[in-house]
Amino acid sequence: MAIVFWLVILLVCIVAEIHTNAFIALFIGFGAAVALILSFAGVAFALQSVFWLIISGVTLAALRPFAVKNFHRTLLTDLSRPTKSALTNLKGLVEETVGDENHPGRVKIQGESWKAVTDWIEPIPAGSPIVVRKTYGTTLWVDPS
């Protein structure tokens, strides 16, 4: 019966970690995996539970900060500043006059219409060729090309 208990905890932790990426269920599941191995070895359920709590707690405290730092550093970007993206350096045409951030327009890049702004002093008129320099979410920063 203990084997089924630890397998259920392990599977719940795997599913929870896949859906959250919080790196909590991962370490609880690791502790459950160790307890599962102990249950195969015939260790008493009470001792399995103690090992589960200790291993889960120690790995959570020791490894979670490292895992969060290294995983989220690669996934999260600072959206407070425009960045380069797959659209950077692509060329297109202005559909609606593109001005500054207070006067956005629209551009067509590879057949798709995008909201666009420019850092140029003068607005870029409709029909003008442009090149994408950076992005912010789904807004493109463009320059005349």
15 and 39 fall within a common domain: yes
CA atoms within 13 A on the CB side of 132: 26
Task: Give the Cα separation of 143 and 77 in Å (integer).
Answer: 23
Domain that residue 138 falls in: 91-144
Helix-then-strand count for the chain, H and E: 3, 5
Span 23-43, pLDDT tens digits: 899 999 999 999 999 999 999
Q: Does pTM top 0.75 for this prediction?
A: no
96 and 49 fall within a common domain: no
Span 99-113, pLDDT tens digits: 998 999 999 999 999
Q: How many structural domains are present in the chain?
A: 2
Domain-terminating residue out of 16, 45, 75: 75
